């Protein structure tokens, strides 16, 4: 037997490498009081092949929802080898637990395609005869969720095969048992389906990590590996777009020519998964070494399968050959024709590292918009440009020139200087919508060390009220961390007093909003949120009161005292 191995040098140079562990999720910091989850791992079926590692896949995802997203265990419903009625009842039960949030459905197991072309989950008791009877389509799940008004979004994540083969590459269905899938509509941003493969090619298992490859990369992305995947900016906030694109890009990096789905709508891509300290992703070198190992393992598995198939046919051939005659001769010729020059041909994706950089640069263009035409002379003289911006009179060409310099300049100090020129121009023009956008970009991407800028932006957001209070409080905290940058004397005292007053007012308003929410829905989570925000309001009011007293500004001290008492007690606020 001859086995055709492409990229022989690639294989020979491979060395064993241990994949980064994803079994213990990172710990989240903010409790999720709104969402509910169904995690399904259907590994064993009565009449269909095993889905290897599906149970481990479901376990790691269950831990993510509980420990990283901090969804209470009572709202994370886990199923293994679930039958049809249990699946249906559990989805309904989880739907009832959502509180103006997201219903998450994670599934590892065999997928199925119904006669209508709809993709579906296959229950564990499914039979070879009429398996559709034992399947629940994604549309069925969405229909259940629509009955509950407190569900704002449904996300279905499926590490499943929707073709004739499973994740081990072996046959699951006969061609006549399964239909051709209809394209995902991706028309409703509140009904999201994320699949391990956009067509009917299965995403493989990853034996060295004992997971499906899709789920392994998904679990890694949720640890923070995907932070910065889109634009290269690791900002500590993980978005749905980042994790979707990380999984797709790294599937190719592992050599697998399948394409996990991506829901391209900005409303979906911009969904925040969590904001916290993110784990660093494996290096390109580690991914390449894992890919080499994966390549060898797949060749080895395919070789063993071919050899096992040949051995089984050889037993039948020998039986015919031992009988002699024409049948025996035909059996031997047939065996030789099939196996004498047998080969393995495997499609393998080649990872080109520069592709990632090209994507990130393209994203910068898409995010910022194409820059209009300009002359280099439009912004050569920085001091002159500052004077023009101080009058709010920058031309379109000058703005385009400055934007181009911000993109091209790698020095953070220069980018900060140029960004401030654009901010000043919009401030003088009183174009506050553009000013807000530029300020947010400046503080998020370039520099947040200036306490005056942070204070100004916080005060602006505070005036918008309601949904802006928490972001305003965030920037007030950054101002507080850096207020030592203010020069001493009356300027420092005046700005510090304004800042501490603003923090106290924002914290009080956030607490009042939490109280209002609790009155609308008296849940343990909302009750806990009231306690946390009330304590924060008391702490900030007390800090302002102590500062005002030290300055002998007794009117401010009295106001702060009243705020402190409203969130605490007279005794606590007098101490």
CATH of the domain at 141: 3.40.50.1460
Give the Cα separation of 391 and 429 in Å (integer).
Answer: 8
166 with 310, same domain? no
Tell which wins on pLDDT, 554 or 39: 39
Angle, nearest 10°, between helix axes 396-408 and 354-368? 160
Q: Are 186 and 263 in contact (CB under 8 A)?
A: yes
196 with 227, same domain? no
SS3 569: coil
- Residue 352 has a pLDDT of 73
Q: In sequence order, what are the residues at sequence separation of 6 or more whose Cβ sits closer than 8 angstroms to the Cβ of residue 11?
A: 5, 292, 295, 296, 299
Q: Which of 28, 16, 128, 11 is nearest to 71 (CA)?
A: 28
CA torsion sign for 257, 258, 263, 269 is negative
**Boundary-marking domain end, from 334, 368, 402:** 368
385 with 287, same domain? no
- Residue 94 has a pLDDT of 97
Give the Cα separation of 15 and 405 in Å (integer).
Answer: 44
Residue 177 has pLDDT above 80, yes or no: yes
Q: Tokens at residue 232, please?
A: 């290269």
Q: What does the pLDDT look like over 275-332, one tens digit per residue?
A: 888 889 898 888 888 888 878 888 887 888 788 888 988 898 888 888 888 888 888 8
Torsions phi, psi for 52 (to 5 deg): -60, 130
Does residue 196 lie in a domain region? Answer: yes
313 with 388, same domain? no
Q: Which of 394, 470, 403 is nearest to 425 (CA)?
A: 394
Give the Cα separation of 217 and 299 in Å (integer).
Answer: 21
DSSP 90-142: HHHHHHHH-SSEEEEEEEEEEEEE-TTS-EEEE-TT--SS-GGGGEEEHHHHH
**Boundary-marking domain end, from 392, 416, 447:** 447
158 with 285, same domain? no
Q: In sequence order, what are the residues at sequence separation of 6 or more whose Cβ sits closer than 8 angstroms to the Cβ of residue 410?
A: none
pLDDT band with cut points at 50, 70 and 90 for residue 12: very low
231 with 297, same domain? yes
- Residue 363 has a pLDDT of 64
Q: Which of 158, 160, 26, 51 is nearest to 104 (CA)?
A: 158
- Residue 367 has a pLDDT of 57
Domain residues for 377?
Answer: 371-447
Q: Which of 459, 553, 548 is nearest to 506 (CA)?
A: 459
Does residue 556 lie in a domain region? Answer: yes
Instruction: Characterise 489 by phi-psi region: left (phi > 0), alpha (psi -120 to 50), beta (else).
Output: left
Does residue 9 lie in a domain region? Answer: no
Rg (CA), the chain: 30
Domain count, the chain: 4
Q: What is the mean pLDDT of the chain?
A: 87
Residue 375 has pLDDT above 90, yes or no: no
**Boundary-marking domain end, from 160, 185, 202:** 202
Does residue 213 lie in a domain region? Answer: yes
Does residue 490 lie in a domain region? Answer: yes
pLDDT band with cut points at 50, 70 and 90 for residue 370: low
Does residue 454 lie in a domain region? Answer: yes
DSSP type of residue 41: E
- Residue 521 has a pLDDT of 81
Give the Cα separation of 234 and 230 in Å (integer).
Answer: 10
Q: Which of 329, 334, 292, 283 is nearest to 313 (CA)?
A: 334
Burial class for 259, CB neighbours closer than 10 Å (0-12, 13-18, 19+): middle
Strand-pair partners of 205: 212
Q: What does the pLDDT look like over 210-245, one tens digit per residue?
A: 999 999 999 999 999 999 887 777 888 999 999 999
Q: What does the pLDDT look like over 455-499, one tens digit per residue?
A: 999 999 999 988 889 999 999 998 988 888 888 788 898 999 999
471 with 530, same domain? yes
138 with 216, same domain? no
Residue 500 has pLDDT above 70, yes or no: yes
72 with 138, same domain? yes
Give the Cα separation of 561 and 541 in Å (integer).
Answer: 7
Give the Cα separation of 54 and 294 in Å (integer).
Answer: 19
185 with 132, same domain? yes
245 with 258, same domain? yes
Burial class for 303, CB neighbours closer than 10 Å (0-12, 13-18, 19+): middle
Each residue of 187-215: b (16+ CB within 10 Å) or e?
A: eeeebbbbbbbbebbbbbbbbebebbbbb
Least confident range from 35-49, 120-134, 438-452: namely 438-452
479 with 574, same domain? yes
Does residue 11 lie in a domain region? Answer: no
The percent of residues above 70 in pLDDT, for the chain, comes to 93
Q: Please count the other Cβ atoms lying within 10 Å of the Cβ belonging to residue 516.
A: 11
Q: Tokens at residue 219, please?
A: 């679990």
Burial class for 425, CB neighbours closer than 10 Å (0-12, 13-18, 19+): buried
Does residue 2 lie in a domain region? Answer: no
Task: Identify the top-confidence range among 74-88, 159-173, 527-541.
Answer: 74-88
């Amino acid at each position: 037997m001859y086995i055709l191995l492409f990229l022989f040098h690639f294989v020979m140079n491979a060395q064993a490498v241990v994949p980064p562990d994803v079994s213990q999720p990172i710990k989240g910091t903010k409790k999720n009081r709104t969402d509910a989850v169904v995690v399904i791992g259907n590994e064993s079926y009565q009449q269909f092949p095993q889905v290897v590692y599906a149970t481990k896949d479901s376990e790691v995802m269950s831990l993510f929802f509980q420990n990283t997203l901090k969804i209470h265990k009572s709202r994370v419903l886990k199923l293994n080898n679930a039958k049809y009625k249990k699946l249906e009842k559990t989805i309904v039960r989880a739907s009832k637990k959502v509180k103006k949030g997201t219903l998450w459905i994670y599934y590892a197991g065999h997928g199925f395609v119904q006669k209508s072309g709809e993709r579906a989950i296959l229950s564990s008791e499914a039979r070879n005869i009429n398996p559709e009877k034992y399947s629940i389509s994604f549309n069925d799940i969405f229909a259940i969720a629509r009955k509950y008004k407190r569900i704002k979004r449904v996300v279905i994540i499926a590490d499943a095969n929707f073709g004739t083969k499973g994740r081990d590459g072996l046959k699951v269905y006969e061609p006549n048992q399964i239909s051709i899938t209809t394209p995902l509509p991706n028309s409703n941003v509140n009904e999201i389906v994320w699949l391990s493969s956009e067509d009917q090619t299965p995403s493989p298992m990853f034996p060295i990590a004992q997971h499906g490859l899709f789920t392994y990369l998904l679990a890694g992305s949720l640890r923070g590996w995907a932070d910065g995947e889109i634009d290269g900016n690791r900002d500590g906030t993980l978005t749905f777009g980042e994790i979707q694109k990380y999984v797709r890009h790294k599937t190719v990096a592992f050599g697998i020519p399948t394409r996990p789905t991506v829901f391209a709508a900005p409303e979906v891509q911009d969904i925040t998964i969590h904001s916290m300290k993110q784990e660093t992703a494996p290096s390109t070198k580690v991914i390449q070494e894992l890919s080499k190992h994966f390549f060898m393992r797949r060749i080895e598995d395919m070789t063993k399968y071919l050899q096992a198939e040949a051995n089984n046919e050889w037993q039948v051939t020998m039986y015919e050959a031992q009988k002699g005659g024409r049948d025996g001769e035909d059996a031997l010729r047939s065996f030789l024709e099939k196996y004498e020059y047998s080969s393995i041909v495997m499609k393998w994706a080649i990872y080109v590292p520069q592709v990632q950089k090209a994507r990130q640069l393209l994203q910068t263009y898409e995010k910022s918009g194409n820059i209009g035409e300009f002359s280099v002379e439009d912004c050569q003289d920085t001091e002159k440009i500052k004077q023009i911006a101080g009058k709010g009179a920058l031309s379109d060409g000058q703005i385009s020139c400055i934007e181009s310099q911000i993109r091209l300049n790698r020095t953070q100090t220069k980018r900060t200087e140029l960004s401030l020129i654009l901010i000043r121009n919009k401030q003088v023009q009183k174009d506050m919508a553009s000013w807000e956008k530029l300020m947010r970009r400046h503080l998020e991407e370039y520099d947040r060390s200036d306490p005056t800028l942070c204070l100004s932006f916080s005060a602006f957001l505070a005036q918008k009220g309601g949904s802006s209070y928490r972001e305003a409080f965030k920037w007030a905290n950054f101002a507080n961390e850096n207020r030592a940058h203010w020069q001493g004397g009356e300027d420092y005292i005046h700005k510090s007093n304004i800042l501490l007053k603003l923090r106290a007012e924002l914290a009080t308003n956030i607490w009042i909003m939490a109280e209002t929410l609790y009155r609308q829905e008296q849940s343990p989570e909302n009750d806990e949120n009231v306690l946390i925000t009330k304590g924060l309001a008391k702490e900030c009011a007390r800090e302002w009161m102590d500062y005002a007293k030290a300055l002998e500004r007794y009117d401010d001290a009295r106001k702060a005292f009243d705020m402190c008492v409203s969130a605490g007690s007279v005794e606590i606020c007098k101490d």
